[in-house]
Structure formats: structure tokens, C-alpha cells
Amino acid sequence: MIALGAAPEPPRPPLRTDPDWAQADLRWIRGALARASARPSGGWLAVDATRALGARPRRYRVDGRDLVAWRDRERGRIRMGPDLCPHMGASLAEGHVERGCVVCPWHGLALRSEPDRGWRPLPVFDDGVLFWVQMPAEPRAGADAGEGDDPPTARPALPERPPRAIAAVMRMEARCEPQDVIANRLDPWHGVHFHPHSFGRLCVVDQQEDEITVRVVYRIAWRIGIEVDARFHCPDPRTIAMTIVAGEGTGSVVETHATPVGPGRTAILEATLATSSRPGFALASYTSRLVRPWIERAARRLWTEDAAYAERRYALRRGEIR
Ligand code: FES
Ligand SMILES: [Fe+2]
């Protein structure tokens, strides 16, 4: 492989040199996943790219509930609530938006931020790249008071993001649970074998209790790539962030969020925030409309394969494959 651009410094030897299948550390993956799952989320679930919401309301199924999301341009906010009109049960997502309200298609009831006959809007957080909804905490079956609490917070726990970046978001769904998506990303050892089109060389250079760093060559074309150090960590139970910590594009972040859609179905949202200290990057950010679809296509290609990994892990856990 020929690596272009700034090589990551300092040179770091791989932690181990035996074959990847022998290195793949299932105990570590399970432990890191269990600790991530125990982290608080504040009840926040990533829904979609902020850019995905246009002038019309949209339906999203989140954790078994149909919700409607719309843009309140009057107040500069994204709003969400149950996709169920409190009058006679119409789908609000099939209505329209007028003066910041979602208007029911059946008899014209307008709803915004005030509860109405049992209909309650839900807290929404727009981080500029993704929007999130805060679901009401449901007491866990069999839990004592205070046990396993995930108290609501004012905002989701976001990983550190670069101040200036080209942002691209990919969303797809898979037949699995959020933990299967996170477990896939906690396994860097599959990279070169499962995605040979994207990774030319990959070795683990640091492995701590809750984070793992790899030195990896991303293929640009054929035998040409760029070499970076990428660190993975989980800021909340359903997010894994990859941060470029050395080499080309240091400070760039790829956030993978796994949001339950319903039993056995998960939405995978991947936000790439690409940055560079190179002088040409300012120009590149003007052309982000051209770069963004390219990043989204690359993320979708990788996730089409990784969703298959997550789905198989889910089927194995459920004893569907013997
Ligand atoms: S069902 Fe929505 S206004 Fe009647
Ligand atoms: Fe992968």
C-alpha cells in the first residue's frame, strides 16, 4: 500500500503480530459493550440528520412509538410528538406545517409545543448535524426505586466535534438491537478482512479498558490510501465515536448512533464530521455539497456490510443459527 499525506506520528508498533482472528478479543468487546450499556443516556435517542427535515412533517418510529417531526420555522426549532392526532387519531405526519404548527389532515387541529387532550410534545435537541428526541423514562420491570435510573438530561452526551467540518449523515435500518451495532464497531479486527475495498492495512496500537486505537490505511483507490490513527470510544449506551487522533484529518469524527426502532429493529445513523488543517480545506468546505454525497456513499457501502454483521450477531444471540 502507498500511503499519501501526513503519516501519523510517532511510529507505533502493533500491540500484537499474530493473526487478526487470534487477536480479536471477544472478552474485551463484551466488557466494553457492557460498560457502555451501563452509561447514562439522559433518555436521548438520535433520530435523523437535521438536514433531512424539510417543509413537510415526517413520521419516525422510535423505540416502538410512531412520532411526527416537523420544522417550526417561526421559532427556529425542530418539534416532535406522537404521530397521533388527539382528536380522532389521524396521522399528523400526513398533515402539513403552518405557522410553526403541525396541522392535522382530517379536521385541521393545529399542534405545536403545548400539550393538547393527552397529546404531549417531546423534548428535541438539534445539535446542528443530527436531531435527537428525549423519550420518557419507563420504569424497568423488577427494578427497585432508583435502581437502573437514567435521569433525563438537558442534552445528549455528544463526543467532542471539530469546530469546522464537512458534515455528512447516513441512515439505514437493520434487523438487530443497538448493542449489535455498537459491538460491530468495537471489533476493529474484522476491518481489512470484511471491507478489503476500504481498508488496506489495520493494526491495533493501543487498547485500554474502554477505548481502542488502530493505525489504519483507508483506501482511496487501488493501492493508494491515507494512514491515520483512529480511536474508538462510547460516550453513551447507543453511540460509538471514532476520532482521528493522528495523521491526515486529525480531529475528524465519525459518530455511529444506534436507535431502537422497535423490537429487533434498529436505525443506524452515522454522522461524519471531516476536518483538516490543510489550507485547501476552507475551499473544500465550500464544495461540501459535492463532498457530502461521496462521504455518505462510502458510509452506506461500509454499513451495508456491517449491518449484515450486526444482523448475524443478533441472530446468533437469539439462537436462530446453529
Ligand atoms: S383527527 Fe385530527 S383534527 Fe380530527
Ligand atoms: Fe466494519
pLDDT at 158 over 70: yes
Q: What is the mean pLDDT of the chain?
A: 91
Atom of ligand 1 nearest to the CA of 105: 2
Same domain, 70 and 104: yes
**Does the C-beta of 120 come closer than 6 Å to ligand 1?**
no
**Residues flanking ion ligand 2, Cβ below 5 Å:** 306
Per DSSP, the three-state class of 101 is strand
- How many domains does one find in the chain? 2
CATH of the domain at 242: 3.30.530.20
Element (H, E) at 318: none
Specify the amino acid at residue 56. R
pLDDT > 70? residue 45: yes
Asked whether residue 173 falls in the same domain as residue 193, the answer is yes
The alpha carbon of 189 and the centre of ligand 2 are apart by a number of angstroms equal to 9
Question: C-alpha cell of 257?
Answer: 448512533
CA distance 315 to 320: 5
Say which amino acid occupies 74: E
What's the per-residue H, E or C state across 236-300?
ECCEEEEEEEEECCCCCEEEEEEEEEECCEEEEEEEEEECCCCCCHHHHHHCHHHHHHHHHHHHH
> What per-residue confidence (pLDDT) applies to 136?
82
Residue 49's CATH number: 2.102.10.10
pLDDT digits (tens, 9 = 90+) for 169-220: 999 999 999 999 999 999 999 999 999 999 988 999 999 999 999 999 988 7
Same domain, residue pair 310 and 267: yes
pLDDT tens digits for 218-250?
887 777 888 999 999 999 999 999 999 999 889
Atom of ligand 1 nearest to the CA of 92: 2
Domain that holds residue 220: 2-41+157-317
Please give the distance, rounded to the nearest whole angstrom, from the Cα atom of residue 89 to the centre of ligand 1. 6
Ligand 2 centre distance from Cα of residue 274 (Å)? 19
- In ligand 1, the atom with minimum distance to the C-alpha of 89 is 1
